[in-house]
């Protein structure tokens, strides 16, 4: 059934099954593919049941550096109302480290502060490069009654949330020991919580994905959005697809193509990738969230229209 409903061959499924039989510990890694899925909430319920009633452990992979920290500290509204301030994302007012917003702020390596890692640790960072401008603390001092000299003066106030500890930034450990163990920061508090798992809705029939499908992914050999802008690490921005994709879209390697999604048209060069199976192409981008590109938004799989660009003679 799985082979018939996906591009995964029966031999690959059998190989996965054999690997499972040899493993004592099994981990399911859940990431951005699921977070942006139209039925993401229902999938989350299924994942919770899988973790509770199977021998799988579930690891939720944060999509960005401090996504986990923000999720622990902030409550998300179910829908957007009123004006929106975007922090490195689109909004009515944009705070950006990339210099393309309304208010410029330092990048991660230009400021002192903390982030919460996937290891459930609050990790302190120090400024490696100078930044001649304002920071979030300047905004806070204009808005809040109590003024702070530095942004890191807020670090110990994280202790108001039960997961965090009331530790001053300058009191945190820093560096690594001779064995390579990370001494930075501190581990989040652990405590028992009462869990209640809602039963998922009945799974609907899989939608038929006819036509051209692209998958939004990070460029090869890039680590994050910052390196994606580096002049020393040039990205391969080709639309990379399988031979089957090229045949279905009536294009060939080296063609310039228009990728049409809704009212948006993006142009890329096409390259055949023999390692890709199935009728699909990879759409690489480390989009900073501030462009008009709609393909990186939401679910990573997008149904698009592919047109070959015919240059005028």
Q: Residue 248 CB: number of other CB atoms within 10 A?
A: 18
Residue 203 dihedral angles phi and psi, to the nearest 5°: -70, 130
For the entire predicted model, the pTM comes to: 0.78
pLDDT digits (tens, 9 = 90+) for 135-176: 989 999 999 999 999 999 999 999 888 899 999 999 999 989
Q: Extract the tokens encoding 242.
A: 């399988």
DSSP assignment string, 210-260: -SEEEEEEPPTT--SHHHHT-SSS-----EEE-HHHHHHHT--TT-EEEEE
The number of C-alpha atoms within 13 Å of 138 and in the hemisphere containing its C-beta is 9
pLDDT in tens, 289-304: 546 667 777 888 889 9
Give the DSSP H/E element, type plus range, for residue 11. Answer: helix 10-21
Domains of the chain (ranges; CATH) run 2-60 (no CATH), 67-187 (no CATH), 212-308 (2.40.40.20)
Contact between 196 and 205 under an 8 Å Cβ cutoff? The reply is no
The per-residue pLDDT for range 73-115, each reduced to its tens digit, is 988 787 878 888 888 887 889 898 878 789 999 988 899 999 9
């Amino acid at each position: 059934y799985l082979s018939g409903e996906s591009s995964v061959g029966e031999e690959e499924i059998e190989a996965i099954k054999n690997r499972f039989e040899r493993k004592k510990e099994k981990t399911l890694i859940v990431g951005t593919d699921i977070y942006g899925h139209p039925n993401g909430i229902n999938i989350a319920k299924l994942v919770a049941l899988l973790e509770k009633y199977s021998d799988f452990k579930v690891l939720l992979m944060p999509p960005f550096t401090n996504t986990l920290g923000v999720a622990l500290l902030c409550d998300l509204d179910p829908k957007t109302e009123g004006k929106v301030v975007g922090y490195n994302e689109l909004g009515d007012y944009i705070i950006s480290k990339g210099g393309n917003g309304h208010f410029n702020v330092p990048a991660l390596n230009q400021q002192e502060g903390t982030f919460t890692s996937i290891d459930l640790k609050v990790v302190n960072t120090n400024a490696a490069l100078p930044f001649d401008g304002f920071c979030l603390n300047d905004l806070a001092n204009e808005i809040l009654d109590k003024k702070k000299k530095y942004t890191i003066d807020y670090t110990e106030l994280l202790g108001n949330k039960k997961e965090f500890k009331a530790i001053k930034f300058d009191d945190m450990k820093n560096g690594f020991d001779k064995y390579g163990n990370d001494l930075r920061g501190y581990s989040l508090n652990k405590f028992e919580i009462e869990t209640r798992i809602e039963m998922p809705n009945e799974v609907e029939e899989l939608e038929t994905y006819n036509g051209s499908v692209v998958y939004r992914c990070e460029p090869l050999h890039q680590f994050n959005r910052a390196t994606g802008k580096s002049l020393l690490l040039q990205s391969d921005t080709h639309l990379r697809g399988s031979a089957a994709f090229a045949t279905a879209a009536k294009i060939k390697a080296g063609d310039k193509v228009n990728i049409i999604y809704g009212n948006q048209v993006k142009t890329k060069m096409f390259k055949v990738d023999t390692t890709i199976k199935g009728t699909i192409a990879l759409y690489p981008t480390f989009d900073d969230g501030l462009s008009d590109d709609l393909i990186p938004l939401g679910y990573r799989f997008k149904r698009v229209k592919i047109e070959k660009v015919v240059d005028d003679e």
